[in-house]
Amino acid sequence: MREAGRGVGIHCPSGLFCKQEKQVTRLTDSINEARTAAEKAPWALKLMEVVDVLLVCERYDDESLDCRLCHSFSALRRKTAALVVKAARLSCRSFAHRCPASAPRCMVEQSNHYRSQE
């Protein structure tokens, strides 16, 4: 596992980037360790929540290169995580056609259900 923020030269005035980057690194490692799209999806959903915090940062300054880089990295990470979730949903749909009705719900749908209960 790599150290969070190592090699990243973003200097965040609020310290938010460093805090979120640790979570991003942990979640990215979890996504990479999971074997299937359905196993990756819950981690990707959580990653989207973590980078959303950076994307709506109140101290964002369009004149700051650090802020622009943080925003660009966060947007890219969010898009990547969204693709993982989409792939999981597609695989669940194809799997559902071959599955009996009694089969457990897809992990993406389960994680969405649990998130809505929070």
pLDDT in tens, the chain (118 residues): 445 545 568 999 899 999 999 999 999 999 999 999 989 999 999 999 999 999 999 999 999 999 999 999 999 999 999 999 999 988 876 654 444 444 445 555 555 544 444 3
Burial class (CB in 10 A: 0-12, 13-18, 19+), 108: buried
**3 state DSSP class of 11:** coil
- Can you give the residue ranges of every domain in the chain? 16-117
The CB density around residue 51, as the number of other CB atoms within 10 Å, is 25
pTM: 0.74
Q: Encoding tokens for residue 59?
A: 């101290």
